[in-house]
Homo-oligomer: A and B are copies of this chain.
């Protein structure tokens, strides 16, 4: 019978997983085991380091709640979420606006708002108009597209961090017949990732600043088109180049303007961005969304 060595144990595990009926699960788990073992062999992981890892992942799981998803935060800070986004974009039927992180603060149940309404309540920050069009890749307007917007307060906190029972700084709009969207908000602020959890412990141990540049999240959907999860990043933020979760990207940086002659509301501070969506493919139905609502993740099956 068997007596394993550090080199033969991997094959023994793969062999025991050989009967997995789902071909994709089998492929993913075999790759996960090979890379996990390669990692442990490369660094010659010791028992105490292994234990430290077990403790760390346990803490990450236990920090998760209906209002917080620490594993998504871990994935974000390790660049995995952005890698998955980037690969997802390469599978689109057409070259559309790029994906950016959904992040842990999206909620399904945001208030439905009318064209031009303000998403922020009781915030003294500077009002900014968000405007532009949602089109296909050839510039044809997508009417009645759903445009969900969410962001921090002008002080850098999401509603879920302030008071989960009071939705704020988020709303769901729809485009008009010309594919136009119009929303009002306040200028969001860059912020630190949650500092009271194990991921923040990791970030501090790595001497990383832990900050995200100021940004506004968008989730845009139109029938027949691939759902777009993205975000716009405010030009001038000092952390555009070293976003702790690798979300900021040059093509998603927007400039706030004070007197844009094209802005639908003359004289307003405004941000203009036109989104393009790729036609959906059959495969899109299976690949899902880049991110998740923690309250859904923790819901009973």
Contact = CB atoms under 8 A, between A and B. Distances in A.
Given A54-B292, A250-B1, A84 B31 contact: no
Contacts of A207: 19-21
B46 A88 contact: yes
Interface in A1-49: 1-6, 9-10, 12-13, 16-17, 19-22, 24-29, 31-33, 35-49
Contact of A297 (B33, B40, B54, B87): B54
Contacts of A45: 28, 84, 87
B84 A40 contact: yes
A114 interface: no
Contacts of A291: 47, 51
A242 B64 CA distance: 35
A290 interface: yes
A298 interface: yes
A279 to B, nearest CB: 18
B83 A1 contact: no
A35 B81 CA distance: 15
A249 interface: yes
Contacts of A3: 249-251
B288 A47 contact: yes
A106 to B, nearest CB: 12
A60 interface: yes
Contacts of A36: 35, 78, 80
A52 to B, nearest CB: 9
A86 interface: yes
A271 interface: no
A91 to B, nearest CB: 8
A51 B28 CA distance: 14
A4 B82 contact: yes
A109 interface: no
B79 A289 contact: no
Given A2-B249, A25-B205, A36-B78, 19 more contacts: A1-B250, A6-B90, A9-B83, A22-B205, A24-B49, A27-B43, A31-B39, A33-B79, A40-B83, A41-B83, A44-B87, A47-B290, A47-B291, A51-B288, A54-B75, A54-B292, A57-B60, A58-B64, A60-B61
Interface of A: 1-6, 9-10, 12-13, 16-17, 19-22, 24-29, 31-33, 35-51, 54-55, 57-62, 64, 69, 71-72, 75, 78-88, 90, 202, 205-208, 240-242, 244, 246, 248-251, 253, 286-292, 297-298
